[in-house]
Structure 1
Amino acid sequence: MRILLIEDEKELAAALTAALGKHGILTDHTAHLGDAVELTRQNPYDAILLDRRLPDGEGLRFIPELRRTGKDTSIIVLTALNAPKERVEGLDLGADDYLGKPFLVEELMARLRAVLRRPPSLSELKITAGRMVIDPLHVSVTVGDTPLDLPRRELLVLAALARRKEKTVLRSTLEAAVYNYEEEIQSNALDAHISRLRKRLADAGAEVSIHNIRGVGYLLKEE
């Protein structure tokens, strides 16, 4: 799962990014509405977390601007402006949910799962390949009835490949699924994730294999 966090409090943004990362969520962060608009043009996000008081204006202005582009990405407003009138304003402008600060990460995760269960997030339903079942909402993989414990980045690679099984996935697409735009990607990092993932899948009897399409990307096949 990849989300966009629009938040100008640096410490909160860093803490949220780290906490969400523990749940297998990749987070891009910006403090400015202008940058947020450009990021949504460049990247497909599963959800957006939006603050209201931002350096370049009222965060709620972002919602109709995003909708005008045809994107219906789920938006959760995270803000200290939490009076009933303010919550109604945010929801009426098109937010999918509204959560007042301070909040528990566990509640935010529950709300994320809730909005992603709604249409149009049908692409986030469980993915099956071979004997595997991948649940992106709960960040889990099972092989048969046995849970397969994977590091976050390997799970993100696997989900991106399984979602497009039997089709070649470009290296750039896989890297975008695993790293946020601020991270520096080492030249062999993706190959190392794939190598470890192959062994884990073989050991678990997942009945899938990952093939290198030289110079292009990777392809996951069912055996």
Structure 2
Amino acid sequence: MRILIVEDNARIGALTAEGLGVMGFCSDVAPTLLEAGELLSATSYDIVVLDLGMPDGDGRAWLVAARAHGLVTPVIMLTARSALGDRVDGLDAGADDYLIKPFAIEELAARVRALLRRPGAHLSAVLSIGQIVFDTIARAGTCRGQPLHLSQREAALLELMMIRAGSVVSRDQIEASLYSFDDPVTPNAIEVLVSRVRKKLANLGVHDQLVTLRGVGYLMIEPRD
């Protein structure tokens, strides 16, 4: 899952991205509303975390305009403004949730997961494909009842492929979901990552469910009954 953090305070932005990263989310930080708009035009995000007091404008007004221009991505407003009227105005402007600073990163992550579990979203608390199970909150996977011992990025890949089970996922889509703009990505990084996850599944007795389609992408096959 990829998150856009719109925050002008470099320290808060970096700490938020780092904290969310520990919990399995990939994040980019936009220090201005202008850069936020550019990133949203260039990349698909699952959630936007939006600070209201930005140096180049008011986050609430920006969100109203963005919604009017078709932005459908869920938005969590992150601000020091705690008055009831501010919260109501923010939600009326198009925010899906509202979190007051200072905040615990665990609560922000929980709110992100809750938004992604809403009807029409694509994240369930527990994903299950055949003998493979992935707990999106604990960030832990099992195969045939045995733990998979996944690294953070391996867990993110398995989650993505299970969400998209039955559909081909291209290398570019995987890279966009799992890596921020600041992350170094070697030419064969995705192939190596898929290979590691496939090997861990095979070691626990599940073969040929995560397949490579040469020149096309990768596919998680749902087993037949």
Bin for the TM-score computed over the shorter chain? 0.7 to 0.9
Q: Distance in 1 between matches of 2:128 and 2:180?
A: 26
Q: From the superposition, tell whether residues 168 and 93 of structure 1 become closer, same or farther in structure 2 (CA, over 3 Å).
A: closer
Map Cα deviations across residues 8-60 of structure 1 (whole Å, 9 max, x no partner): 11111111111111100111211111221232233332211100111211111
Q: Counterpart of 1:187 in structure 2: which amino acid? A: P
Aligned counterpart, 2:78: 78
- Percent identical across equivalent pairs? 40
Q: Do the aligned residues in 2 keep the contact of 1:5 with 1:28 (CA within 8 Å)?
A: yes
- The CA deviation at 1:158 is 2.0
User: Counterpart amino acid of 2:196?
Assistant: R
After superposition, the C-alpha distances for 1:160-182 in whole angstroms (9 at most, x for unaligned) are 32333344321111111211123
C-alpha contact 2:113 2:123 (8 A) present in aligned 1: no
Inter-partner Cα distance in structure 2 for 1:117 and 1:40: 21
Deviates more, 1:194-203 or 1:67-76: 67-76
Residues 1:65 and 1:137: Cα distance change in structure 2 (over 3 Å) = farther
- Counterparts of 1:86-125 in structure 2, within 5 Å, are 86-121=86-121, 123-125=122-124
Where does the alignment leave 5 or more consecutive residues of structure 2 unmatched? Answer: none
Aligned equivalents of 1:155, 1:38: Cα separation in 2: 29
Contact 2:212–2:219 under 8 Å retained in 1: yes
User: What is residue 151 of structure 2 aligned with on the other side?
Assistant: 151
Q: SS of 1:134's equivalent?
A: strand
Take 1:180 and 1:84, find their aligned partners in 2: how far apart are those partners? Answer: 35
- 1:179: which partner in 2? 179
Instruction: From the superposition, tell whether residues 200 and 26 of structure 1 become closer, same or farther in structure 2 (CA, over 3 Å).
Output: same
- Separation in structure 2 between the aligned mates of residue 22 and residue 100 of structure 1, nearest angstrom: 21
Provide the residue aligned with 1:142 in structure 2: 142
* SS of aligned partner of 1:124: coil
Partner residue, 1:60: 60
Cα separation, 1, equivalents of 2:109 and 2:164: 26
Partner of 2:218: 218
Which residue type is aligned with residue 112 of structure 2? L
Q: Determine if contact 1:3/1:48 at 8 Å carries over to the other structure.
A: yes
Per the alignment, in what secondary structure is the counterpart of residue 114 of structure 2?
helix
The farther-off stretch of 63-72 and 10-19 is 63-72
Q: CA shift at 1:95, angstroms?
A: 1.2
Q: Which moved more, 1:44-53 or 1:132-141?
A: 132-141
Corresponding letter in the other structure for 1:24: G
**Tell me, what secondary structure is at the counterpart of 2:45?**
coil
Q: CA deviation at 1:130?
A: 2.8
Q: For each residue in 1:91-126, what CA deviation from the matched residue of structure 2 results, as whole angstroms up to 9, or x when unmatched?
A: 2212112111111112212222222222332x1124
What TM-score do you get using the length of structure 1 for normalisation? Answer: 0.88
Alignment of 1:37-56 (within 5 A): 37-56=37-56
- SS of residue matched to 1:29: strand
Gaps of 5+ in 1: none
TM-score by length of 2: 0.87
Q: CA deviation at 1:86?
A: 1.6
